[in-house]
Structure 1
Amino acid sequence: MSRKRVLWLAIAVVLAVIVAYQTVSSANERSAWFVAQADIPTITPGVDVLAGVMEVPQRIRGHDYRRAAFGDTWTDDTTAPGGHNGCDTRNDILDRDLVDKAYVSIKRCPKAVATGTLHDPYTNATISFVRGNQTGASVQIDHIVPLAYAWDMGARNWTDEVRTRFANDPANLLAVDGPTNQDKGDQEPARWMPPNVAFHCQYAMQFIAVLRGYGLPVDAQSADALRRAAATCPAAA
């Protein structure tokens, strides 16, 4: 994963989780915590990375989950670099995460990625992106904390505005390999982690950052998985 891309991810975490904190804490009076660094996260030995995140025994899947509860589509109301630019969140994340890009103007988006290269963090594969009918098959935008998981862990009680913000929060979004994203589905860390073991540190720390930013709990099995993944992070000096 390129240093430039990690930098953009770190910036996104800072900006987006601050906004999430302001929105959610005003309603729930919860404190936020976020990861903000331009390289692989480091952890302080002896410090529980999930300290302050409530743990529940298990995830209970809600049959009332509706994707539409998080908004019908991507919005342009994003804190990603270049947000409020006429391009929706998907196009902004493609622009953030891809390299060697060429652009095309489409609909209201004056600078949509036409072609580019994704260095996929989930598989460590290099994927060529070409805009077209099969775009979604090769490169997809993943919610690190899945929407259905968030719903089961408390998002069902949020306002529509907060759910829409969550679905479009760059801190919770990554451009990734399409088939791998399909394989993940809405599974929690106890059931799915990226095939690329070298990315487990970043994945866990971003997952935790989003949980903290939105005051979401974690199921006990996933807490164990996140702690194991965070243990692969280098120790802070």
Structure 2
Amino acid sequence: MRTRRRRNHALAMLIVLAIAAGVGWLYYRDNVDREPDPSPTATPSYDAVRGELEALPVRGWDPVRDFDRFRFGEPWSDEVNVEFGHNGCNTRDDILRRDLADLRVRPGTCFAQSGILHDPYTGATIDFVRGPDTSSAVQIDHVVSLSDAWYTGARAWDDQRRRDFANDPRNLLAVGGQVNFDKAFRDVASWLPPNAAFRCAFVARAVDVKTAYQLWVSAKEKDAMRRVLRDC
């Protein structure tokens, strides 16, 4: 009887060890050689940003006042050669799906149905619900406005490059409707986010976009950018 108990005990121990070994192998298989998940909000190198800023050419806005939104193509076009382009979804919904927390997407579509926006411009939390009377609570802002781009170099671009710029996720943020209205077409010299904690990231993004698209800045904007980045 005692011998049988010993055998049963030994068998149970072997089973436990086999299970442990299997779990260990699964963990190893699922984790070895995997790249870490990318940070959703990578912090830029502000030394590099300051260097990019100093390299931006300085000129005034083009004096000819002929900006028209439709010079940048149909709003939120998917026919673009930037991130999310040609994915079958409009750019507004691409950015909503990127920026909203607790996101719900309408089944079988690209449409963001609901979610929560942590507005980077104000620090406020905004509930987003898709609908004719509610969607405007969250809007998509061009960090470097289309008007600013037009008067600082985009007039010389072809239609495709302007369409790409208007839909480039690097230059787009989901924000509250009112603060988007308040910012309008203004550049860094005349507008900064009310949320002071986001100003470094905001200016860094504007510098990155202007560098990527070879736009210029006014002397006032460059000075304003320097003042913000000095403390970043």
| TM-score computed with the length of structure 2 as normaliser | 0.77
Tell me, in whole angstroms, the C-alpha distance in 2 between the residues paired with 1:101 and 1:61: 43
Residue 47 of structure 2 corresponds to 44
SS of structure 1 residue aligned to 2:110 = strand
CA 7–146 in structure 1, closer or farther in 2 if over 3 Å, else same: farther
- Supply the AA of the counterpart residue of 1:216: L
- Supply the AA of the counterpart residue of 1:222: E
Tell me, in whole angstroms, the C-alpha distance in 2 between the residues paired with 1:136 and 1:186: 21
Q: 1:76 aligns with which of 78, 100, 108?
A: 78
Question: Residues 180-195 of structure 1 correspond to what in structure 2 (within 5 A)?
Answer: 180-195=179-194
- Supply the AA of the counterpart residue of 1:70: F
1:66 shift after superposition: 0.8
Q: Where do 5+ consecutive residues of structure 2 fail to align?
A: 1-37
SS of structure 2 residue aligned to 1:132 = coil
Q: 1:89 aligns with which of 77, 88, 91?
A: 91
Tell me, in whole angstroms, the C-alpha distance in 1 between the residues paired with 2:122 and 2:189: 18
1:8 shift after superposition: 4.2
Greater Rg by CA: 2
Q: Structure 1 runs of 4+ off > 3 angstroms?
A: 6-9, 77-81
Question: Residues 6-45 of structure 1 correspond to what in structure 2 (within 5 A)?
Answer: 7-8=39-40, 38-39=42-43, 41-44=44-47
Tell me, in whole angstroms, the C-alpha distance in 2 between the residues paired with 1:227 and 1:212: 15
1:188 shift after superposition: 1.0
Tell me, in whole angstroms, the C-alpha distance in 2 between the residues paired with 1:7 and 1:133: 34
Residue 224 of structure 1 corresponds to 223
1:50 shift after superposition: 1.0
Residue 130 of structure 1 corresponds to 129
Tell me, in whole angstroms, the C-alpha distance in 2 between the residues paired with 1:194 and 1:226: 13
- Supply the AA of the counterpart residue of 2:57: M
Tell me, in whole angstroms, the C-alpha distance in 2 between the residues paired with 1:190 and 1:201: 14
Tell me, in whole angstroms, the C-alpha distance in 2 between the residues paired with 1:153 and 1:170: 20
Asked if the contact 1:136–1:178 (Cα under 8 Å) also holds between the matched residues in 2, the reply is no
Residue 164 of structure 1 corresponds to 163
Question: Residues 136-155 of structure 1 correspond to what in structure 2 (within 5 A)?
Answer: 136-155=135-154
- Supply the AA of the counterpart residue of 1:122: Y
CA 98–80 in structure 1, closer or farther in 2 if over 3 Å, else same: farther
1:136 shift after superposition: 4.5
Residue 32 of structure 1 corresponds to none
SS of structure 1 residue aligned to 2:191 = coil
Asked if the contact 1:146–1:187 (Cα under 8 Å) also holds between the matched residues in 2, the reply is yes
Tell me, in whole angstroms, the C-alpha distance in 2 between the residues paired with 1:166 and 1:214: 8
Q: Paired residues, what number?
A: 193
1:60 shift after superposition: 4.3
Tell me, in whole angstroms, the C-alpha distance in 1 between the residues paired with 2:106 and 2:227: 42
Asked if the contact 2:129–2:135 (Cα under 8 Å) also holds between the matched residues in 1, the reply is no
Residue 118 of structure 1 corresponds to 117
- Supply the AA of the counterpart residue of 2:203: A
Q: Where do 5+ consecutive residues of structure 1 fail to align?
A: 1-5, 10-37
Residue 197 of structure 1 corresponds to 196
Matched-pair identity in %: 44
Higher strand share: 1
